Amino acid sequence: MANQISENSISEKLLERYVLLGKLSKDAKEEMDKIKQVFHAFFDEQSGSNTRAEVTIGDYFIQRQIRVSESFDDERTVEHLEQLNLKDCIQFVKRPDEKKIEAAIQLGLLNGEEMNSLKINKTTQAISVKKIK
């Protein structure tokens, strides 16, 4: 089908195919998620939860990897560093406060047009196809 698609032609058949593939993709993802739950339950029982494990069954090799990310709890860490007077270890991020800017515009303290010129607009594209009949 892919080699029949020209750059500037959209047909009802192509839209129908797109919707069908979207549904198949969603159904496949849901089924794969259920199967993954079975795999995790198997490995939990065999090796314990949150442990790396692997097994070969027939022609297939299945492996569970465990990835751990670590970061400081922002609020508690900042509080602790402040108690130790280690403020150099704390980042201060300057960021516009949109609510206060809007309030200042309403009060006439800031020029709304001037502030609008400082805004950044980001545009992304998305496709949505739905069957209407």
- Under the banding of pLDDT at 50, 70 and 90, the label for residue 2 is low
Boundaries of every domain in the chain: 10-64, 74-115
Output phi, psi for 125, to 5 deg: -105, 145
Tens-digit pLDDT profile for residues 84-120: 999 999 998 999 999 999 999 999 999 999 999 999 9
- Determine the Cα–Cα distance for residues 48 and 107; give it in Å rounded to an integer: 61
Chain mean pLDDT for the chain: 90
Tens-digit pLDDT profile for residues 36-53: 999 999 999 999 998 999
Contact between residue 74 and residue 67 where contact means Cβ atoms under 8 Å apart: no
